Amino acid sequence: MNNDMGTTDDSASPFKNALEKGRDAQRDFIKQFTSIQQDAMQNFFSMLQGLTYYNAMFKTTVQSGGRISIPEAERQALNIEDGDLVQVIIVPIERKRKK
Q: pLDDT tens, 34-90?
A: 999 988 888 888 877 766 666 677 888 889 999 999 999 889 988 999 999 988 888
Q: pLDDT value at position 20?
A: 93
Contact 60, 69 (CB under 8 A): yes
pTM above 0.85, yes or no: no
Q: What percent of the chain has pLDDT over 90?
A: 29
Q: pLDDT value at position 25?
A: 93
Alpha-carbon gap, residue 79 to 85, rounded angstroms: 12
